[in-house]
Amino acid sequence: MFHKEGYKIIIISFIIVVLINLISKELINNSIINYSIGILTIFGLVLILQFFRNPKRSTLLNDSLIISPVDGKVVVIKKVYEKEYFKDDRIQVSIFMSPLNVHVTRYANSGIVKFSKYHPGKYLVAWHPKSSELNERTTVVVDNKKYGEVLYRQIAGAIARRIVNYAKVGDSVTQGEDAGFIKFGSRVDLFLPLDSKIKVELGELVVGGIDTIAEN
């Protein structure tokens, strides 16, 4: 199963692979070179296919929990001042996604979308301390009556060049549902209430829509 954001790229990539191999067979009379070109182009196509994969996840809905919005590695857990929306102290949990991770963004909690904003920006490496403020990004806040307001931020990396965000203010969203996609790399930051009980550790690998990040 592939994500809808990848359909166009997958089709174009498939056509390019076919054309390259057809042209190489016409112009290059060397079976070893043709075979090598075939292997390399197919390998490239497989990488694109795995990047846009969209595995179905069975999320157990729980308003007391914040689940991981993405697949990746926990790279930040710290108290910070969140200055865009809350303008107060929050616990930041950041998850870095490599190009090999699933890049679907899922809602970490159910509730009503209270805020959704796109910011154009730079393409610093996703683990750079300033990427959360300077890179291309989207900020979304979902209000859950039990847990409160939770902010997540999709952040483009050095490779990522497009963020897709489906959240619109006023939407009623469900934990684990598809919230967007980040093409080719990056990270997601969560900003949680200070009394949240963090259930992950630095360096831990998490699965989007399944693993618990925090509870209240």
Instruction: Name the residues annotated as catalytic.
Output: 186
Q: Report which of 213, 209, 130 is spatially closest to residue 177, judged by C-alpha positions.
A: 209
DSSP structure class, residue 38? H
- CA 61 from chain centre, in angstroms, equals 20
Alpha-carbon distance 111 to 92, whole Å? 20
Asked if 97 and 185 count as a contact pair (C-beta separation under 8 A), the reply is yes
Asked if 99 and 158 count as a contact pair (C-beta separation under 8 A), the reply is no
Alpha-carbon distance 107 to 122, whole Å? 25
